[in-house]
Amino acid sequence: MTVSSVVVVGGGIAGVSTVAELRKHGYAGELTLVSADAVPYDRPPLSKEYLAGSRDLESIALQPPSWYAEQRISLIGSAAAVAVRPDAGEVELADGQILTADRIVLATGGRAVRPPIAQAAPIHVLREVADADRLRTQLVPGARLLIVGAGLIGAEVASTARGLGAEVVLVDPLVPPLAAAVGSEVATWLHGLHAVHGVEALATTVETLLETPTGVAVQLQGERDSREFDAVLLAVGLSPENVLAESAGLEVDRGVLIDAGQLTSHPSVLAVGDCSRLRDHPRAEHWEAAQVDGARAAATILEIAPPPAAAPWWWTDRYGLHVEGVGEMRSPDAVHQTVVRGVVGEPPFSVFTLRSERVIGAVAVDDPNAVRAARRMIDRQVDVRASDLADVTQNLRKLL
């Protein structure tokens, strides 16, 4: 059956990528994007430039508002889907409107995990632009901020908050965080940057949070007295938004389960981005992964070749340093070797994981082209010598 109508539910990068890729590949049928936001925006700046106030909502739009009309995409903004009926091909919106389509793509994203504690105004999470707006009002010079969780979001907000003059305490029981993503040596150095920039980074957990008339009283494990904060940010992970998928009877297990073509357990429903999980794989939870999901979903709908497989890539920024990673970092063992280009802790530098003579992962600080080279080495399965990678006078391009 030729597909002549598609409804995409969710206006994050995965959903917008899906509609963009459908049009890019010549899909001429009806195309509807249901978004909770008036105009879909990009989330990475919410912990960085947007939170800092240096970029506004308009400048973080995923596409200019006029783009949707130009692409003949019916954008239904500020809307919520309340039911999906796969057999009927229906999506019901909160205002009662019912959309019908040959294919439905779920791009419902996720929610920031909120541990089961009392909701209180000074206790924040960060996922939506409204979250960032609320948090920013509290990031004034001298304000005391506790960040729970020192992963990418927690670390980025710590950096932004310091830039705004706030006093920051950052707690995470896992030290160093991100070791699996960047390797333990780089992870230790990155985590150490917090202290260098005046953040009190503690290897502990929160026992209790109590709202007080002036803020939040926090009891940290291992401390005798509680501490007082003006605001608390919980940055402890993402929970996929699967209410619609579950009620639609789709197979869900820590994400809507999908196959390699983004198809769910129902043949006319696909899922992309943070709400979805490839069976037997963890959720990717990165920006580019969501974008590629959209491209794959479009290819499946149009029955064309999917985008070529590529090593996953991500970035983060903290304290003015730009960190990128690609592929998989592994500790040295019988088959894996760690190669440092430059000196860890003295940017620009990069670190590669080699399996035999193949790069399988790389992390770079202020050395983005090392990661671009590594990405191509991984994707093209190029044999390289460790000594060439480590030689900073060697142009990595020449190794491709």
Instruction: Give alpha helix (H) positions in 242-348.
Output: 243-247, 287-302
Closer Cβ to other proteins, 117 or 129, answer by number: 129
Stretch that binds other proteins, among 58-66, 99-107, 131-139, 271-279 (CB under 8 A): 58-66
Kindly identify the residues of this chain, within the stretch 14-53, that bind other proteins according to CB under 8 A.
17, 20, 42, 44, 49
Closer Cβ to other proteins, 96 or 308, answer by number: 308
Query: CA–CA distance from 287 to each of 84, 175, 314, 382 (Å)?
Result: 25, 25, 7, 26
Q: How far apart are CA 233 and CA 171, in angstroms?
A: 11
Q: Is 303 exposed, middle or buried (0-12, 13-18, 19+ CB in 10 A)?
A: exposed
Q: Which residue has the tokens 């990475």?
A: 44
Letter string b/e over residues 352-391, b meaning 16 or more CB atoms within 10 A of that residue's CB: bbbeeeebbbbbbbbbeebbbbbbbbbeeeeebeeeebee
Using the rule CB under 8 A, which residue among 89, 249, 306, 368 binds other proteins?
Answer: 368
Question: Is 29 within 8 Å of 54 (Cβ atoms)?
Answer: no
Closer Cβ to other proteins, 62 or 81, answer by number: 62
Which residues make Cβ contacts (< 8 Å) with residue 384, sequence separation at least 6?
354, 357, 358, 359, 377, 399
Closer Cβ to other proteins, 43 or 103, answer by number: 43
Stretch that binds other proteins, among 60-68, 90-98, 239-247, 257-265 (CB under 8 A): 60-68
User: Is residue 272 close enough to count as binding other proteins by CB under 8 A?
Assistant: no
Closer Cβ to other proteins, 266 or 296, answer by number: 296
Closest CA to 44 of 62, 29, 28, 31: 62
Stretch that binds other proteins, among 26-34, 130-138, 224-232, 364-372 (CB under 8 A): 364-372
Using the rule CB under 8 A, which residue among 369, 382, 390, 399 binds other proteins?
Answer: 369
Q: CB 311 → other proteins: shortest distance, Å? A: 13
Residues in contact with other proteins, shown as a per-residue x/- string from 63 to 102 under the rule CB under 8 A: xx--x-----------------------------------
Q: How many residues bind other proteins (CB under 8 A)?
A: 24
Q: CB 236 → other proteins: shortest distance, Å? A: 25
Closer Cβ to other proteins, 62 or 233, answer by number: 62
Which residues make Cβ contacts (< 8 Å) with residue 335, sequence separation at least 6?
355, 356
Kindly identify the residues of this chain, within the stretch 283-302, that bind other proteins according to CB under 8 A.
287-288, 291
Beta-carbon neighbour count of residue 257 at 10 Å? 19
Q: CB 164 → other proteins: shortest distance, Å? A: 19
Q: How far apart are CA 230 and CA 331, in angstroms?
A: 40
Residues in contact with other proteins, shown as a per-residue x/- string from 300 to 339 under the rule CB under 8 A: -------------x-x------x-----------------
**In what side-by-side order are the strands of the sheet with 81-85?**
81-85, 90-93, 98-100
Closer Cβ to other proteins, 16 or 91, answer by number: 16
Q: CB 122 → other proteins: shortest distance, Å? A: 31
Q: How far apart are CA 155 and CA 194, in angstroms?
A: 8
Closer Cβ to other proteins, 52 or 93, answer by number: 52
Type of residue found at 363: V
Q: For every residue of 227-263, which 3-state class applies, written as one string?
A: EEECEEEECCCEEECCHHHHHCCCCECCCEEECCCCE
For binding to other proteins (CB under 8 A), which residues are involved? 13, 17, 20, 42, 44, 49, 55, 61-64, 67, 287-288, 291, 313, 315, 322, 368-369, 372-373, 395, 397
